[in-house]
Structure 1
């Protein structure tokens, strides 16, 4: 079966996507939640699936997969990694043009065959995780911050058409430990009661100067950043796959002494 799936991309992707749907719905059902997942048969505006929890979140995702973990880069629709147009300034985008009116993200699936059964590992990336890496809140690799800075600079000033693509290094995708962790990092209800996007957004506001509260000096923002900063690292550490390592970065009082972001 392994050779068959390696040689038949369409069959492989269909099976992996169906397994993703089942895993997400099963994990939600365990918590008494009816999660809806829809697949787009047409490549519309960059997304492949829509995930809806019938409550407070609808997420559009592009899905990428690989077999035997051999793909180092993925071509992602640019719009999938841009912020909602209501918060473009908080992410230091100069204008809302090209930003979606909804929430987007990218799910990456690693597939393999073990003892004649298909097994999967899941990864996730969105504007919030990219921004957190750009700001230096955490690292997945030694290149995380530099690569995130390059990608966001490109997204801020590059092509604005939704179907334009950007090449993303696979090592920037966050490796979740299980499906409950995948639900959590996407912002859905799970056994992990967290709100990563809110805390990352709050740090982003403080760095970008888009908070309602005004500060006399940059260093005065540090105390208000610390709680969110620590929370993000603590919660991500709970979600990461045990075979991977999260490097937590300490927030120091000289944070704003660093060179400004190249945006």
Structure 2
């Protein structure tokens, strides 16, 4: 699976025995992305709460879970190591790339995001269901975490001097420049020194990802074509949208700064840059 699949592909494979469909729509987010298609699902989908699949002990939102926690959640809903997984959400492409990236980071690459998500599925008048699938089937899942895909605060801080990679920030230009407030109360806006702003909205065409030529042009204009990249945002969520866009061009999984701006701005000693 190449990271992104079409509604036509999913329609043809709905009955596959090894296919797991995950609805990762969330009731709300810090950016006020609300659940716009309540109680409408793709047939056979299992609902997944991002909060339940994150590290509950962390003070930061959406923190990557331990392999043990991740494996337990997979086993709860019948995911095994040879399962094919399709993730989608009711925004089109918002929450689902985070789960896609998490599975890949845990060594499971048989996973793809539904391009256009639920809105595209509904707009094409495809069959829907009013309930998600409930399952009590327990299966074994053994994660193989690639630690290099999860960047820490210290690694991001040290990179300001070492310049081994470029941090690509998926937040809006106003937040990056320090001219618009952060949605999380008490956080200053601005950006990590030497980082590059690529708002996640720029890689989208409505609810779908832009085509490869458009994406390549975007990365070229940002001067990112030949750079090693680590993606960041407010909480590690929309960074995965831009990471998915990069994956479509390179077929490589990119690291995420998991604490992202929420962590960076909370630490008093963090250097913060703003627009000139």
Q: Is this a same-fold pair by TM over 0.5?
A: no
